[in-house]
Structure 1
Amino acid sequence: MDDTWILNMTSQTNPNKRDLFSRFVNWISSSGDDKAPVNRPNGSQDIVSRLMNRISG
């Protein structure tokens, strides 16, 4: 099968799901308050930050 056909088919069949997900994420992000940054001793990162930095490259 042609990859272009698959991409076009996927983008045409799921626009409502993506729109609903985007609206949900925007609603969640607008409902919370931003917290102050956490200062760790010697500038070290917490375990979650180190894991996310490792995953993201």
Structure 2
Amino acid sequence: MAAINRIAAFAEDMTAGRRHLHRHPELGLHHPGFEFNDRVAPVGASFFARLVERAQPPG
């Protein structure tokens, strides 16, 4: 399957997922009891930035 076809299929799956969440808001992505610790956000961002940098080809 060509890459463009895989991207198109993924987009359709994402749209279906969003529609499902809109039809069933009780499933929600956020839980009222969840507390996000803002102090750790830079640690996570740094981790993922280094991960991407290491995955890049040299040059």
Q: TM-score, normalised by structure 2?
A: 0.40
Which structure is higher in helix share?
1
Structure 1 or 2, whichever has the larger Rg, is 1
